[in-house]
Every structure is written in structure tokens, then in C-alpha cells.
Amino acid sequence: MTETLKNSVNAPCPHWNPLVQQQVFRRLMNAFAYPGSIETISAPPGKALIGVLACLLDAETTLSDPCRLVSEHDMKLLSAVCADPETASFIVMPGDHDPDFIPRIGTLESPEYGATIILQVDQIGEGDSFGLSGPGIQGSRQVSARGLSHAWLMSRAKWAQEFPLGVDFILVDGKSVLAIPRTSKI
């Protein structure tokens, strides 16, 4: 029995259930296939962030949570290795906090080593809007997120200017996710 499965038996929240994690993963893959689309995930109210992390992380991945959005209890269940934002594969930050680090953007030989930045926002589908275009988007799409600092979008433009290098964004509110892969233009 894997460590995650053992932990899920003792965990009270459904996002530790492997079947729920598979459902969340499918929703995330759909969000990445159709950037800017809002996907509702099956997680308890206000626990979408943990639901996303539970399906993406394991003991082999690195996670940076400099603002401590994830409780100590959930960090133990995630089993991820803690790292600095500059070296982590996954970074969790509040969307209204301006970026104060430079994440991994990968290399030309291994662009897949670019970080995934998961931003906790107040509400997806409300607030300031911006346009997305690129693969998976017919023409362009307007998206909005309340609680997302414009500084993230400006920094992302710098980090993704030398495609295929860059970072992927996942915006998370209490119940939904929205993906902005490095292939999308803002």
C-alpha cells in the first residue's frame, strides 16, 4: 500500500481519496487543454487548493509555500519535499501577493522543468479581466480573477518570453481552477 493511500485512509477530507484525486486531475487536464476555461473541482468548500495539490504532488516533488497557505497537517499528508521558490517544481502563493522571486523556467534541453505556480485568488470569473490567446483557445478568451495582482501577469510575461521556457499558472479559488499554460499569450 502506498504512503498516500495509507494517509488517505486516516484523512477525514475526501480530497485524500485516490478516486477524488483522479477526478480533480481530469479537471486540471481539461483546464490546461482549454486555457482560460473555468473548471469546478470536487473538493470541500474552500479546499480546492488542497484538492489540486493532493492530485499533483507526491514524495518525489518539491513544493514551496512561503506564505504558509497549506496547513502543517496537510503538508504532512502531501509528502512533498519543501523547497525555496527559486528551486521548487510547484509554488503556492496568494494571488494578491506580488512575486518576489524568480522561479525555475526550465532549459532548452528540458523545458518541462519550468515551475507550476498555483495562485490562490478570491474568485475566478469576477474582478479584473485579461485576454488569453494561443493553443486550445479559439481566437481569444477573456478571463477574470478577483484577488490576482497584475504583477503576476507582468512577471509571467518575462518568465515565458523565450518559449519553450517558462512557467505554468493554475488559479484556484474556493471551488474552481483555471489554467494558464506557458503556451498561452496574455
Sequence-ordered list of residues with C-beta below 8 angstroms from that of 126, at least 6 positions apart, any chain: 144, 145, 146
Is residue 80 one of the residues assigned to a domain? Answer: yes
Q: Closest Cα partner for 55 from 78, 83, 37, 81?
A: 78
The whole-angstrom separation of Cα 174 and Cα 125 is 12
Is residue 113 one of the residues assigned to a domain? Answer: yes
Sequence-ordered list of residues with C-beta below 8 angstroms from that of 77, at least 6 positions apart, any chain: 7, 11, 16, 54
Per-residue pLDDT tens digits of the chain, which is 186 residues long = 345 444 444 545 766 788 888 899 999 999 999 999 999 997 777 789 999 999 999 999 999 999 999 999 999 999 999 999 999 999 999 999 999 999 999 999 999 999 999 999 999 999 999 999 999 999 999 999 999 999 999 999 999 999 899 999 999 998 999 999 999 999
Q: Output the pLDDT for position 7.
A: 45
Is residue 96 one of the residues assigned to a domain? Answer: yes
Q: Are 138 and 157 in contact (CB under 8 A)?
A: no
Is residue 68 one of the residues assigned to a domain? Answer: yes
Sequence-ordered list of residues with C-beta below 8 angstroms from that of 84, at least 6 positions apart, any chain: 64, 101
Is residue 185 one of the residues assigned to a domain? Answer: no
The whole-angstrom separation of Cα 79 and Cα 174 is 22
Q: What domain range includes position 44?
A: 3-180
As given in the structure block, the three cell numbers for residue 88 are: 521548487
Q: Output the pLDDT for position 9.
A: 45
Bridge-based pairing of strands 39-40 and 176-180 is antiparallel
Q: Output the pLDDT for position 6.
A: 43
Residue 57 one-letter amino acid: L
The whole-angstrom separation of Cα 143 and Cα 132 is 7
Bridge-based pairing of strands 39-40 and 90-94 is unpaired
Is residue 186 one of the residues assigned to a domain? Answer: no
Q: Output the pLDDT for position 5.
A: 43
Is residue 22 one of the residues assigned to a domain? Answer: yes
Instruction: Provide the CATH number for the domain around residue 123.
Output: 3.40.50.11310
Q: Number of folded domains in the chain?
A: 1
Is residue 136 one of the residues assigned to a domain? Answer: yes
Query: Rounded to two decimals, what is the model's pTM?
Result: 0.90
What is residue 128's three-state secondary structure?
A: strand
Q: What does the DSSP assignment read for 21-32? A: HHHHHHHHHHHH
